[in-house]
């Protein structure tokens, strides 16, 4: 069933009888709705935007940012059915075992679930994303370096793929142009959400359980606002809502000559043991191949610093056994309380305070990058595999460049999972601390972020939450 609140002739209508009401129809919300209907649950899937992109909806995502340079927040995410899967690149990787074993860095890094509890949903999630579930990671001999594997979805556009199926599903009721404006709550439970369209039509949607799946900024924004309005009636007053927000910094580090016959982009990371020994987090190094002309320029530049290596490999260049490459990094940011979402005094057209993103890179973020790069360079030298020419900003410990990728458009944390309500917002089942029936879905629940792109684990966690809510 489908209700577009913008097209409704009624000024107010009550909808009831739902097992679960999901607010937000991106990768998390759509996966959750589809799977819950499979379990026989009646679902309300509530989307603030329409079926297609609309400027009126999108402009609500405009917001302030403080700290390090970052993207405009109304371009880093999309506000219509399918969410940001409408513009994602399709790059996929799940969490690694080491991401759930960060005890050496302190309590705030500890997930309340194990790697295996998430991994059992990997195959099903990969099928949804139309990728192989086998990740061909390899440890390089006598080295702390691992060759790692990414998969690439078509990419799947969740809105296009699932809209018709969900709209025709007798157990699913899609609400479009339905913006959350209030909740009704009794005894630590939400009993209904009130929504409003852009033409001011309103509706009340009643359910047994509610899930916020509005994204890595909006989940925090709405919880902060509801806590401001209702205090601790259904949200623990001690939970760090909006705190420990994370991104994946992305920067170019330098160039290298590598002995290889392959021209495909390759990916590397440190082994779990090396991460523990260096007391750092996870860092993915991306080796992208250069043109023949750029490789010749790099050889000339390296002749002064590594003449013996360069002379030895020049003859191999014509045999396609040597390649010039660019080294880039996309790495895991440490969860830090100083990165957070807060409420602005400015409000959107529905009277909800806009968010302000406070984001910076701190000491452990730089250490993770530098130590990972150092281990990689040592492997190149010791194995005589290549020679690295670092960029000035990384070689001489300067500020991050302003003209690079900056980050991955990956919004994580803010409603993080942790057993301690003073360190997390949701418990191991994604239920908000202090609430009896409010849950969170999406990358905002990540305790730590890994260096992987978040879409695959978002789908995994959504399948896991669907299983929990089906019981």
Q: Please report the DSSP string for 217-261 in residue order.
A: THHHHHHHHHHHHHTTSSS-TTS-TTBS-B--EEEEEEEEEEE-S
**What is the pTM (predicted TM-score) of this model?**
0.94
Q: At what angle do helices 307-317 and 292-302 cross, to 10 degrees?
A: 160
Cis peptide before 155 (omega within 30 of 0): yes
Work out the average pLDDT over 367-395.
91
| 304 vs 377 pLDDT, higher one | 377
pLDDT higher than threshold 60 for residue 320:
no
Residue 172 to residue 37: CA distance in whole angstroms: 7
Residue 121 to residue 459: CA distance in whole angstroms: 9
Contact assessment for residue 36 and residue 44, using Cβ atoms and an 8 Å cutoff: no
Confidence at 72, pLDDT banded by 50, 70, 90: very high
Give the E-state strand segments of 31-163 in sequence order. Answer: 43-46, 64-67, 91-92, 138-139, 145-148, 151-152
Please state, in angstroms and as integers, the Cα–Cα distance from residue 221 to each residue in 26, 61, 159, 316, 341, following that order: 17, 11, 24, 56, 7
Residue 157 to residue 81: CA distance in whole angstroms: 10
Contact assessment for residue 432 and residue 219, using Cβ atoms and an 8 Å cutoff: no
Confidence at 325, pLDDT banded by 50, 70, 90: confident
Contact assessment for residue 359 and residue 70, using Cβ atoms and an 8 Å cutoff: yes
Please state, in angstroms and as integers, the Cα–Cα distance from residue 280 to each residue in 301, 333, 423, 447, following that order: 32, 10, 20, 16
Residue 270 to residue 303: CA distance in whole angstroms: 29
Work out the average pLDDT over 68-90.
95
Beta-carbon contacts of 217 under 8 Å, excluding residues fewer than 6 positions away, are 63, 73, 77, 341, 355, 357, 411, 414, 444
Contact assessment for residue 230 and residue 434, using Cβ atoms and an 8 Å cutoff: no
Residue 279 to residue 272: CA distance in whole angstroms: 10
Confidence at 155, pLDDT banded by 50, 70, 90: very high
Helix (H, G, I), strand (E, B) or coil at 446: coil
- Which pLDDT score is estimated for 439? 98
Residue 283 to residue 361: CA distance in whole angstroms: 14
Cα distance from N-terminal residue to C-terminal residue, the chain:
24
12-23 and 43-46 beta bridge pairing: parallel
Class of residue 175 by CB neighbours under 10 A (exposed 0-12, middle 13-18, buried 19+): buried
Q: pLDDT above 90 covers what percent of the chain?
A: 86
Nearest to 414 by CA among 359, 365, 451: 359
Confidence at 386, pLDDT banded by 50, 70, 90: confident
- Which pLDDT score is estimated for 321? 61
Please state, in angstroms and as integers, the Cα–Cα distance from residue 463 to each residue in 119, 186, 386, following that order: 11, 28, 43
Give the E-state strand segments of 31-178 in sequence order. Answer: 43-46, 64-67, 91-92, 138-139, 145-148, 151-152, 172-176
Work out the average pLDDT over 241-250.
98
| 304 vs 255 pLDDT, higher one | 255
Residue 269 to residue 135: CA distance in whole angstroms: 14
Residue 268 to residue 140: CA distance in whole angstroms: 10
Q: CA angle, corner 402, sides to 404 and 278, nearest 5?
A: 70
Residue 241 to residue 234: CA distance in whole angstroms: 13
196 token code pair: 């409003």
- Which pLDDT score is estimated for 425? 98
pLDDT higher than threshold 90 for residue 248:
yes
Residue 438 to residue 209: CA distance in whole angstroms: 6
Maximum separation of any 2 CA atoms in the chain, in Å: 80
- Which pLDDT score is estimated for 299? 63
């Amino acid at each position: 069933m489908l209700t577009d609140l913008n097209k409704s002739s009624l000024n107010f209508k009550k909808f009831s009888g739902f097992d679960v009401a999901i607010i937000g129809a991106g990768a998390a919300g759509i996966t959750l709705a589809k799977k819950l209907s499979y379990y026989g649950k009646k679902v309300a899937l509530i989307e603030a935007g329409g079926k297609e992109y609309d400027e009126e909806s999108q402009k609500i995502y405009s917001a302030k940012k403080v700290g390090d340079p970052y993207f405009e927040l109304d371009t880093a995410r999309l506000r219509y059915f399918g969410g940001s899967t409408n513009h994602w690149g399709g790059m996929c990787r799940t969490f690694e075992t080491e991401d759930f074993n960060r005890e050496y860095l302190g309590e705030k890094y500890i997930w309340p679930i194990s790697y295996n509890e998430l991994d059992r949903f990997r195959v099903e999630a990969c099928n949804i994303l139309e990728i192989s579930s086998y990740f061909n990671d390899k440890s390089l001999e006598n080295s702390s370096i691992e060759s790692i594997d990414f998969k690439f979805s078509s990419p799947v556009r969740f809105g296009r793929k699932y809209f018709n199926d969900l709209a025709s599903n007798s157990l699913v009721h899609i609400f479009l142009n339905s913006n959350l404006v209030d909740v009704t709550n009794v005894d630590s439970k939400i009993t209904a959400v009130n929504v409003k369209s852009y033409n001011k039509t309103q509706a009340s949607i009643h359910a047994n359980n509610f899930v916020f799946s509005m994204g890595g900024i909006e989940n925090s924004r709405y919880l902060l606002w509801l806590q401001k309005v209702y205090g601790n009636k259904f949200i623990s007053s001690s939970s760090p809502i909006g705190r420990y927000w994370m991104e994946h910094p992305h920067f170019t580090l330098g160039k290298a000559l590598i002995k290889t016959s392959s021209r495909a982009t390759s990916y590397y990371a440190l082994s779990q043991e090396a991460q523990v020994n260096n007391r750092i987090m996870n860092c993915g190094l991306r080796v992208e191949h250069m043109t023949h002309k750029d490789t010749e320029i790099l050889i000339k530049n390296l002749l002064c610093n590594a003449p013996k290596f360069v002379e030895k490999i020049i003859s191999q260049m014509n045999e396609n056994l040597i390649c010039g490459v660019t080294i880039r990094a996309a790495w895991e940011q440490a969860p830090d309380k100083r990165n957070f979402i807060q409420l602005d005094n400015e409000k959107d057209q529905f009277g909800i305070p806009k968010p302000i993103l406070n984001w910076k890179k701190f000491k452990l973020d730089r250490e993770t990058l530098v130590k990972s790069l150092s281990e990689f360079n040592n492997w190149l030298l010791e194995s005589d595999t290549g020679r690295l020419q670092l960029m000035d900003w990384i070689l001489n410990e300067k500020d991050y460049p302003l003209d690079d990728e900056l980050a991955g458009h990956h919004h994580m944390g803010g409603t993080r999972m942790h057993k301690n309500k003073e360190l997390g917002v949701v418990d191991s089942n994604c239920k908000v601390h202090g609430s009896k029936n409010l849950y969170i879905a999406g990358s905002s629940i990540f305790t730590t972020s890994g260096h992987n792109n978040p879409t695959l684990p978002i789908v995994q966690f959504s399948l896991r939450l669907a299983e929990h809510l089906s019981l």
